[in-house]
Chains A and B, each alone.
Chain A
Amino acid sequence: MDLQPGDFLFELWQARFSLWAGIVATVSSSALTILASTLCGTLLGLVLAYGGPIARALARLYVDVLRGIPVLVLILFTYYGLALFGINVPAFWAGVIALSAFATAHVAETLRGAVESVPAGQMEAAKAIGLRFPQRLRDVILPQALRRMLPPWVNTGLEVVKGTTLLSVIGVVELLLASQQVMARNYLIIDFYLTAGAFYLVINAAIAQLGAALERRFSYLRY
């Protein structure tokens, strides 16, 4: 079979490096965001659940504000807004920071809910054998809470991957913008939007699989 310019497969082959770079940008910004928001969100969620009144009010404010603002606004603000204050953040990192700030709020709320759903008797039993607060968290509460927050955490991960498409607005050549640039050369609009969609599906299917594997790993945790 001879492939001609204008054939989808020919153009796909031509565009392989651009698309690959887009995939790398999407996957790396997603992975960094998920990592950062899981760490920060867990800490913030613990403040929501156990912090003193002032710390808790501040954490609550953060979560409510960040969840109430469109991610796109956060991204534009981080990129252009910070520049106004003389802070120049490269577009990629501005995007990762904005998405992480947003996802942190979600993870924090999820963790708070998970922690509070662990039966009160668990904390009491942990106190009764003399465990100190950090030990009670690490050895008793968190192992149970993290298992409970797996499904919503996977959801947040999927949202983050889809959210990286918004980074195209500030010029990050992630998978969507890379695909659009390819289309601008060959006008195969439908083909390359479908291709981009398929790549997103594959990435998200991998995350969902990871979540399912983790759930199986913790399946012994029953009441």
Chain B
Amino acid sequence: MAGNVLLQARKVHKSFGETEVLKGIDLDVAQGQVVSLIGASGSGKTTFLRCVNLLEEHDAGEILLDGEPVGYRMEGGRRKRLSEAAISAQRARIGMVFQQFNLFPHLTAEENVMLGLTRVLGKPKAEAREIAGHWLARVGLEARRGHYPYQLSGGQQQRVAIARAVAMQPRLLLFDEVTSALDPELVAEVLAVMQQLAESGQTMLLVSHEMLFVRDVSHHVVFMDQGRVAQAGPPAEIFGNPESERLRSFLGRFHGLFAL
């Protein structure tokens, strides 16, 4: 893989009780790359994203961001969990956009974006407001900066959520099925913002069921099946030459989409 490797996952395992959800995931994301995870529900895509951002802790293997283990440090050959403060500092370098938007309902669009800037990055209010205005403009919502989330449509809320994540200037931006909860006619506006971000060189790791978008925007596509990476490669290869039966049948569900 070309370029500087930003995120490196090696043999990542994760179980919930008896159920092993991730069975040794290997995955690299280079700086400036867009990598997409596809696969059926329950294949572990979302769990992997959540492990990267420490919303879940992986049981074994390692996840390195800029060469630094995420969530723990090695001490005498043993994993030692990082302090709450250190984990928060790592999370601040990784942005995340959620399926359900998760905007803070008691804050306006602008305040949602400003919160991390002032509290985590320690920026003065005026500067944070300026940055928030810039990013809200980038997602086409400058006029809505004083609106509360309930006053915005789903697509607008998700665009604010993207602005909130990207305003922190994260090294890596995670997208977890960010269009799945949206009405079909609102999906396009969110994808357009993501495409713009991808073109600007933002490193992105996304889970998506929007296959056309994945094909057009990704540099690298990873097909996950039952907690493993079943096939990975450039989009042309994944969509043009699916090796496994599993991938063929998965893509078959989007039949007709690729005939265009």
| Interface window among B23-31, B91-99, B136-144, B243-251 | B91-99
Q: How many whole Å from A215's CB to the nearest CB in chain B?
A: 14
Q: A131-B115, A131-B119, A132-B84 are in contact. Are A125 and B103 (CB under 8 A)?
A: yes
A139 within 8 A of B: yes
B98 touches A124 (CB 8 A): yes
Q: How many whole Å from A72's CB to the nearest CB in chain B?
A: 40
| Interface window among A53-61, A94-102, A140-148 | A140-148
B residues lining the A interface (CB < 8 Å):
53-55, 84-85, 88-89, 91-96, 98, 100, 102-106, 115-116, 119-120, 148-150, 161, 164-165, 168
A144 touches B105 (CB 8 A): yes
Q: 8 Å CB contacts to B: which residues of A103-152?
A: 119, 121-122, 124-133, 135, 139-140, 143-144, 147
Q: Which 7 A-B pairs have the closest CB atoms?
A: A130-B92, A129-B116, A125-B102, A121-B102, A128-B96, A222-B150, A130-B120
- Per the bound structure, the CA–CA distance linking A144 and B103 in Å amounts to 12
User: Interface on chain A toward B: helix, strand, loop, or mixed SS?
Assistant: helix
User: Interface on chain B toward A: helix, strand, loop, or mixed SS?
Assistant: mixed
Q: Which of A124, A129, A130, A221 has the most CB of B within 10 A?
A: A129
A223 within 8 A of B: yes
Please classify how large the interface on chain A is, using the bins under 10, 10 to 19, 20 to 34, 35 or more: 20 to 34
Which of B55, B89, B98, B148 is close to A130, meaning CB atoms less than 8 Å apart? B89
A124 touches B102 (CB 8 A): yes
A85 within 8 A of B: no
Q: A121-B98, A121-B100, A124-B55 are in contact. Are A130 and B105 (CB under 8 A)?
A: no
Q: How many whole Å from B51's CB to the nearest CB in chain A?
A: 13
What are 14 inter-chain pairs, A to B, with CB distance below 8 A? Answer: A121-B100, A122-B104, A125-B98, A127-B91, A129-B168, A130-B93, A130-B116, A131-B88, A131-B119, A132-B84, A132-B85, A139-B104, A222-B105, A223-B105
Q: How many whole Å from B198's CB to the nearest CB in chain A?
A: 20
A139 touches B119 (CB 8 A): yes
